[in-house]
């Protein structure tokens, strides 16, 4: 019998499980590391069926593949991620987004969370890049989209109208299949296209311009909204904004974190807010954690905010209750906006 894993075929024989690749890989290369994943999984499978059977790695380099503790932890994490995606062991949390002036929740961002079977938590900054590297991001992204749309559609049929739903899209998902996946999800869930906002990082804009523009065009034909996430990190050209049908800019949280410390960050935020107004594009600040940051953003003219100061990411039932809450006007002294002068 055989099982295809990481594009390599693991074959089980009476005495050994022999792993063959289409081409040999030099030591320490990514294919060789993936051989290690396949070898370890093969060992587990064979040992479970017959402890007397052995697994060996066949290579023209005649090397013994040895893995250190860190490598073994990563390989085990990769195996667990495969299982988590296939068995939908991940869950979604939702973080509300608020209007600055009214305090009313207008939207929510869906965020994937991974609670492993052993009780440990794997941070998104760890498993999202891992999913991209192992080609699992497509399956993971499709699951997040489907689950989030179903959840928000349930909210919509309740007492409240559906807020705007933000779903992150990886650079690796920006291809000719994305529009069809989104359209199919909306048809199955009944969630309105105009309420769905796909968040794409600014770094994705440095890719193939023709592919990105065509992908955005197809998405806009469906009627969904598009947001540029982590805006202000400097990876993209501003000329893209005149060519792409963007609905919202999300200020990178590093700018918000340093807002009260560096006048240059305040100047960048002010400039992006002004740019958004000129282009008719909304601007939201994410990662707002302090009252001082919020007051400065308010003075700088930012229209929307998201962050721990207002609401942390929460399970759907808790987030739904948070969405109905109006945190209201803040009775605090206004913060001084540094950056009015360079001496700040």
Mean pLDDT calculated for residue range 170-178: 92
Nearest to 16 by CA among 45, 53, 50, 49: 53
Query: Is 341 contained in some domain?
Result: no
Cβ pair 144, 131 in contact under 8 A: no
pLDDT tens for residues 252-263? 898 999 887 888
Are residues 129 and 52 part of one domain?
no
Give the residue, 324 or 170, on which the prediction is more confident.
Answer: 170
pLDDT at 242: 79
Are residues 297 and 213 part of one domain?
yes
Query: Is 219 contained in some domain?
Result: yes
pLDDT at 8: 34
Cβ pair 302, 310 in contact under 8 A: no
Query: Is 296 contained in some domain?
Result: yes
Upper half-sphere CA count for residue 214 (Cβ side, 13 Å): 8
d(CA 211, CA 297): 35
Query: Is 119 contained in some domain?
Result: yes
Query: Is 47 contained in some domain?
Result: yes
Mean pLDDT calculated for residue range 110-135: 90
State how far the alpha carbon of 140 is from the alpha carbons of 41, 53, 84, 127, 261, in Å. Answer: 21, 34, 9, 10, 37
The number of domains in the chain is: 2
Q: Is 69 helix (H, G, I), strand (E, B) or coil?
A: helix
pLDDT at 314: 96
Q: DSSP code of 55?
A: -
Cβ pair 249, 228 in contact under 8 A: yes
Query: Is 258 contained in some domain?
Result: yes
Asked whether residue 234 carries a pLDDT value surpassing 70, the answer given is no
Query: Is 74 contained in some domain?
Result: no
CATH number at residue 261: 3.20.20.450
Helix or strand run (H / E) with residue 151: helix 137-156
Among residues 66, 92, 118, the one where a domain terminates is 66
Q: DSSP code of 192?
A: -
Are residues 287 and 168 part of one domain?
yes
Entry pTM? 0.77
Are residues 262 and 160 part of one domain?
yes
d(CA 319, CA 323): 6
pLDDT at 220: 96
Top mean pLDDT of 73-87, 193-207, 262-276 is at 262-276
Are residues 88 and 9 part of one domain?
no
Are residues 121 and 223 part of one domain?
yes
Asked whether residue 289 carries a pLDDT value surpassing 90, the answer given is yes
pLDDT tens for residues 14-55? 333 334 433 344 444 455 455 555 555 555 555 555 555 554
Are residues 234 and 144 part of one domain?
yes
Give the residue, 62 or 240, on which the prediction is more confident.
Answer: 240
Are residues 118 and 51 part of one domain?
no
Are residues 137 and 283 part of one domain?
yes
Are residues 106 and 50 part of one domain?
no
Q: First vs last Cα of the chain: how many Å apart?
A: 70
Are residues 217 and 192 part of one domain?
yes
Are residues 60 and 89 part of one domain?
no
Query: Is 336 contained in some domain?
Result: no
Containing structural domain, residue 260? 83-323
């Amino acid at each position: 019998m055989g099982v295809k894993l990481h594009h390599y075929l693991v074959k089980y024989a009476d005495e050994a499980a022999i792993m063959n690749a289409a081409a040999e890989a030099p030591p320490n290369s990514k294919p060789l590391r993936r051989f290690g994943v396949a070898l370890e999984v093969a060992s587990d499978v064979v040992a479970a069926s017959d402890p007397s059977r052995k697994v060996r790695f066949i290579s023209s380099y005649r090397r013994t593949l040895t893995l250190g503790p860190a490598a073994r932890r990563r390989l085990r994490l990769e195996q667990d991620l495969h299982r988590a995606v296939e068995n939908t062991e991940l869950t979604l949390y939702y973080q509300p987004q608020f209007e600055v002036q009214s305090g009313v929740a207008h939207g929510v961002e869906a965020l994937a969370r991974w609670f492993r079977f052993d009780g440990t938590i794997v941070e998104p900054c760890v498993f999202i890049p891992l999913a991209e590297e192992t080609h699992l991001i497509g399956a993971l992204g499709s699951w997040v989209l489907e689950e989030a749309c179903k959840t928000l559609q349930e909210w919509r049929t309740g007492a409240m109208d559906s807020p705007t739903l933000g779903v992150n899209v990886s650079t690796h998902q920006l291809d000719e299949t994305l529009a069809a996946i989104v359209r199919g999800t909306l048809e199955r869930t009944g969630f309105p296209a105009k309420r769905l906002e796909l968040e794409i990082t600014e770094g994705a804009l440095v890719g193939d311009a023709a592919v990105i523009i065509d992908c955005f065009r197809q998405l806009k034909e469906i009627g969904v909204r598009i947001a540029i996430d982590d805006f202000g990190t400097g990876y993209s050209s501003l000329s893209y904004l005149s060519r792409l049908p963007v609905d919202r800019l999300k200020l990178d949280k590093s700018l918000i974190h340093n807002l009260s410390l560096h006048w240059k960050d305040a100047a960048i935020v002010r400039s992006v807010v002004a740019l958004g107004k000129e282009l008719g594009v909304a601007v939201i600040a994410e990662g707002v954690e302090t009252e001082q940051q919020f007051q400065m953003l308010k003075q700088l003219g930012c229209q929307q905010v998201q962050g721990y100061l207002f609401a942390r990411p929460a399970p759907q039932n808790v987030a739904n209750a948070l969405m109905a809450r109006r945190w209201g006007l803040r009775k605090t002294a206004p913060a001084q906006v540094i950056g009015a002068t360079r001496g700040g």
